[in-house]
Amino acid sequence: MKEHKTGAIGWNQGKVWFLDQTRIPAEQRIVETSDPAVLAGAIRSLSIRGAPLIGIAAAYGVALDFISSPVARREDLQSRLARVQTLFASTRPTAVNLFWALGRMKKAADSFSGNLWDLGAVLRDEALKIHEEDRSTCEQIGVHGAALLSPGMSVLTHCNTGELATGGIGTALGIIRTAWDKKVLRHVYVDETRPLLQGARLTVWELTQLGIPSTLITDSTAAFLMLQGRIQAVLVGADRIAANGDVANKVGTYGLAVAARHHAIPFYVAAPTSTIDSTMKSGKDIPIEVRDSVELLRQGERALAPEGTEVYAPAFDVTPNELVTAIITEYGVMNPPFGSHLPERLGSLEDHKL
């Protein structure tokens, strides 16, 4: 398999490198490691973020574990797998791509019957395959999503769903890139995405690199822009989609969906099919990560609220399926009603465990 040397993460000569996203836009710092624990820490600290990218990073981490310390006895294989999978599974609970990728890696290890000293290379190739598949997936999502937009549209996006969040051009931002290339898109409005400002720091940075015109707004400005008629579509990603089409995404997404419905603006969700979790009947079943209170209370050394302030800081919220205009995947566009078992709409796709 070809080693990845572009994007936000990659494999190069037995090590994994990644772009530390906490430093953007001030600095483009590349970290290189052969230690799975460093990768897991980077996911936990949001140096590596975005549902598809988290899955890719975890897959690389499993491969690193077996390359750095090969298993000598087959009877030790399952305990080693369990240990490294637990390391990554404990990092971010909401993004299902993480668990999907870990499942892929376990399946590859379980089916391996050769010399155990070769297992690390086999797992590396599986991780590279996951990465390459996501690149292709993003391209297809971009094509399907851009076809839904009309010439001259201005769109709103939330958080970051581009090359910094995936193995390719992105999901929602991949649609934006494709639409811009096809000369369909006119302008992009970007929510700052409080409290960690992924929209301001990351999405605006990506759009600037691409030469796509954009305007940064506070999260609370979006509904007013809709009222003014300056937004014709909302494009967001997803960290987990329940079997009924409920969508977990960066907190603030639900409010955008409510505002879009009130203003009769289409609300599109772009995500790979690996984000659909058939084990979750509805959004009520999706585990929602709650972040440390310091992310709301402080900005660097500066206090943003009085000492002792009570904080509730969910990283994600859930948008009910009735507010979703369409879900855009690599296999095409799914329109409502979504029914109670969304994966069946996509057919039998063994690789994605639907």
In the sheet with 276-277, reading across from the earlier edge strand, the strands are: 276-277, 240-242, 247-250, 316-319
- Report the candidate in 74, 133, 81, 120 with the shortest Cα–Cα distance to residue 102: 81
Burial 254-291 (b: 16+ CB within 10 A, else e): bbbbebbeeeebbbbbbbbbbbbbeebeebeebebbeb
20: left (phi over 0), alpha (psi -120 to 50) or beta: beta
Instruction: Establish whether 110 is a catalytic residue.
Output: no
Pairing mode of beta strands 332-334, 326-329: antiparallel
Residue 128's Cβ-side half-sphere holds a number of Cα atoms within 13 Å equal to 19
116: left (phi over 0), alpha (psi -120 to 50) or beta: alpha
Q: CA end-to-end span of the chain, whole Å?
A: 26
Q: Name the active-site residue from 239, 246, 277, 317.
A: 239
Burial of 307 (0-12, 13-18, 19+ CB in 10 A): exposed
Sign of the alpha-carbon dihedral angle for 253, 292, 90, 121: positive
Phi, psi of 71 (to 5 degrees): -80, 130
Catalytic residues: 239
